[in-house]
A and B are shown apart, each in its own frame.
Chain A
């Protein structure tokens, strides 16, 4: 039963997008993922509007004071197991806005982050690569079956080592 659950989760992760004070750069690239050129639905990834049904939280942008409480609440509303992906330089570390008076910093200052995708903004290929790396970390596939994101040789997405369901 547990195997079937893991299989279902990694074959079709439902992702929730949360903008915690981004500049729209990452957001439009994230939206471009859903459109015909990149089309992440071929990996079973579906953008889900409600936190209650989501498996993966994609956070874009530095966390602003006004958003930090809301980000925490959205994270708490998600069911276990849940994973957080920080998309873009600002979500990873605060980026160009680090130190501003109304900015808390990167996403990991507020909620635990599983995977980081740097870039300003990261290319859609890099985002696909990051999400695929996360899925491979959750459910390590046999060597020959490892999913490879297309054209993602130069991306630098990083996933924490101890990812468990």
Chain B
């Protein structure tokens, strides 16, 4: 932006969105921090400081938050006048955070390579006896610089790139970018495509929820439940393959519609598979309700109160497990969600058990949504032709990914490449909840508490 840097605060209140815009001079970009008013802004400010170099007074830090440790200080890759490929890396400095704990406290490092985490992330957990007294996260092990790379590729290429932010919730990322671009371009997306998108997003939600319900079992040493859930996840993955052609990366959603249609022969197949899954849900509910192992390791663990959930601006099943009734599908309906009846699942206890039960109930709701969408599938085309260049403008797109609210901001400059793409992923917003709830509890409960957030570090780091 020439001599100034624009700092945008996108605020999602109970029902609506608003954006605050501030500008700071590039020579000395300083703003006052918001964390005294809203603690949930902590991570977002740290990320902006690290990648763009805007300092938030009251929330300064030394070292790197997302970038690698050997990245030079004072070199901000997301600034427009910076070519990050010309960076001269420095030897890894010794940071304060890497020093050992003092006194009778012991520091336990979890990660980056750890059997409980299938992704690289580091948590330095300080314990006094068995009780956790402090948790310091270090993210950025999977930071691939996707936000910067989107600026050098066309919108069509960017759909495939942002899908690869996260392999688990990839249709959500594709929809995030497409939804924001479509708000600028305003193409006439066919009705049938809007329903097909809902089916793709809900199939994704079912597979993601089954994945974490099983993974949570693995974290407490209950491997049987892991094998059961993953066995039942495979037919859903087969449905994704049936409707999109690939098991993981569906690449179904594109600007102006979807790429593939669901044929009349597919519909009975999809219905029978999800009906099968529905018959298995009471069994899983029984396990989560009655199984003493699960209850002992999940009831009352990692309790997040409603006030804290609002303060830390957590989203998705974590918020709904803490009695916060927010679901973007209901609050700001996108695609065909406004026309499809479904229940919003809210649990009030705020513990690990509630968060897992929110997901279990949402699987059933997703089955209902898919059934309704298949019954009311409009006829007609599935895609309209759109221009390759997008007119000047900016737009946000917010959607309910399996892990919570996924937020995309796109600014276009009239060419076929975006000027800026900002991705706020749900796990990025949910990690502060773990940092709060882990303190004061046993070190043995850290994995199950953490898994209940359904963490995804490839999303977090981008």
Whether a CB of chain B sits under 8 angstroms from the CB of A107 is no
Known A31-B230, A120-B249; contact A24-B166, beta-carbon cutoff 8 A: yes
Would you give the shortest CB distance from A82 to chain B, in whole angstroms? 15
Known A23-B164, A31-B230; contact A64-B144, beta-carbon cutoff 8 A: yes
Would you give the shortest CB distance from A18 to chain B, in whole angstroms? 6
Would you give the shortest CB distance from B433 to chain A, in whole angstroms? 21
B interface, how many residues as a size bin? Answer: 35 or more
A35 to B87, CA, bound (A): 43
Residues from chain A with a CB closer than 8 A to the CB of B161 are 96
Does A25 lie within 8 Å of B71, measured CB to CB? no
Does B68 lie within 8 Å of A102, measured CB to CB? yes
A92 to B98, CA, bound (A): 32
Whether a CB of chain B sits under 8 angstroms from the CB of A20 is yes
Whether a CB of chain A sits under 8 angstroms from the CB of B279 is no
Does B84 lie within 8 Å of A101, measured CB to CB? yes
A interface, how many residues as a size bin? Answer: 35 or more
Whether a CB of chain B sits under 8 angstroms from the CB of A19 is yes
Interface secondary structure of B, over-half rule: loop
Known A23-B167, A25-B170, A64-B143; contact A102-B211, beta-carbon cutoff 8 A: no
Query: CB-CB contacts of A1-43 with B at 8 A, as 1s and 0s?
Result: 0000000000000000111111111111101100111000000
Does B458 lie within 8 Å of A99, measured CB to CB? no
Chain B residue at smallest Cβ distance from A124:
B247
Whether a CB of chain B sits under 8 angstroms from the CB of A61 is yes
Does A36 lie within 8 Å of B112, measured CB to CB? no
Whether a CB of chain A sits under 8 angstroms from the CB of B113 is yes
Chain A residue at smallest Cβ distance from B64:
A66
Does B113 lie within 8 Å of A37, measured CB to CB? no
Does B141 lie within 8 Å of A66, measured CB to CB? yes
Whether a CB of chain A sits under 8 angstroms from the CB of B61 is no
Does A65 lie within 8 Å of B70, measured CB to CB? yes
Within 8 A of A (CB), among B84-134: 84-85, 87, 89, 92, 112-115, 118-120
Would you give the shortest CB distance from B207 to chain A, in whole angstroms? 9
Known A24-B458, A29-B248, A65-B71; contact A102-B143, beta-carbon cutoff 8 A: yes
Does A32 lie within 8 Å of B230, measured CB to CB? yes
Chain A residue at smallest Cβ distance from B231:
A36
Chain B residue at smallest Cβ distance from A37:
B234
Q: Which one of A67-75, A128-136, A139-147, A148-156 is at the interface?
A: A67-75
Q: Which one of B12-20, B145-153, B195-203, B354-362 is at the interface?
A: B145-153
Whether a CB of chain B sits under 8 angstroms from the CB of A49 is yes
Whether a CB of chain B sits under 8 angstroms from the CB of A121 is yes
Whether a CB of chain A sits under 8 angstroms from the CB of B165 is yes
Residues from chain A with a CB closer than 8 A to the CB of B145 are 97, 100-103
Whether a CB of chain A sits under 8 angstroms from the CB of B28 is no
Within 8 A of A (CB), among B29-85: 67-71, 77, 84-85
Residues from chain A with a CB closer than 8 A to the CB of B148 are 100-101
A51 to B68, CA, bound (A): 23
Residues from chain B with a CB closer than 8 A to the CB of A26 are 167
Residues from chain B with a CB closer than 8 A to the CB of A64 are 68, 141-144
Does A25 lie within 8 Å of B249, measured CB to CB? yes
A123 to B240, CA, bound (A): 13
Does B458 lie within 8 Å of A102, measured CB to CB? no
A18 to B111, CA, bound (A): 11
Does A97 lie within 8 Å of B144, measured CB to CB? yes
A69 to B120, CA, bound (A): 13
Within 8 A of B (CB), among A107-124: 120-121, 123
Residues from chain A with a CB closer than 8 A to the CB of B211 are 28
Residues from chain A with a CB closer than 8 A to the CB of B112 are 67, 70
Whether a CB of chain B sits under 8 angstroms from the CB of A127 is no
A35 to B231, CA, bound (A): 7
Residues from chain B with a CB closer than 8 A to the CB of A37 are 231, 234
Does A20 lie within 8 Å of B167, measured CB to CB? no
Whether a CB of chain B sits under 8 angstroms from the CB of A84 is no
Does B248 lie within 8 Å of A21, measured CB to CB? no
Known A28-B167, A70-B113, A101-B84; contact A19-B120, beta-carbon cutoff 8 A: yes
Does A100 lie within 8 Å of B166, measured CB to CB? no
Does B67 lie within 8 Å of A36, measured CB to CB? no
Residues from chain B with a CB closer than 8 A to the CB of A91 are none
Does A35 lie within 8 Å of B227, measured CB to CB? yes
Does A35 lie within 8 Å of B170, measured CB to CB? no
Whether a CB of chain A sits under 8 angstroms from the CB of B181 is no
Whether a CB of chain B sits under 8 angstroms from the CB of A56 is no
Whether a CB of chain A sits under 8 angstroms from the CB of B220 is no
A9 to B69, CA, bound (A): 37
Does A102 lie within 8 Å of B247, measured CB to CB? no
A-B contact pairs, 30 of them (CB 8 A): A17-B118, A19-B113, A19-B118, A20-B120, A21-B141, A21-B458, A21-B461, A22-B167, A23-B164, A23-B166, A25-B248, A27-B167, A35-B231, A35-B234, A49-B115, A50-B115, A64-B142, A64-B143, A65-B68, A65-B70, A66-B68, A67-B142, A97-B149, A101-B84, A101-B145, A102-B77, A102-B143, A103-B145, A120-B249, A121-B249
Inter-chain pairs besides A70-B141, A102-B143, 17 sampled, C-beta below 8 Å: A19-B119, A20-B120, A24-B118, A25-B167, A25-B168, A25-B248, A31-B118, A32-B230, A35-B233, A49-B115, A97-B146, A97-B164, A99-B149, A100-B144, A100-B145, A101-B85, A123-B247
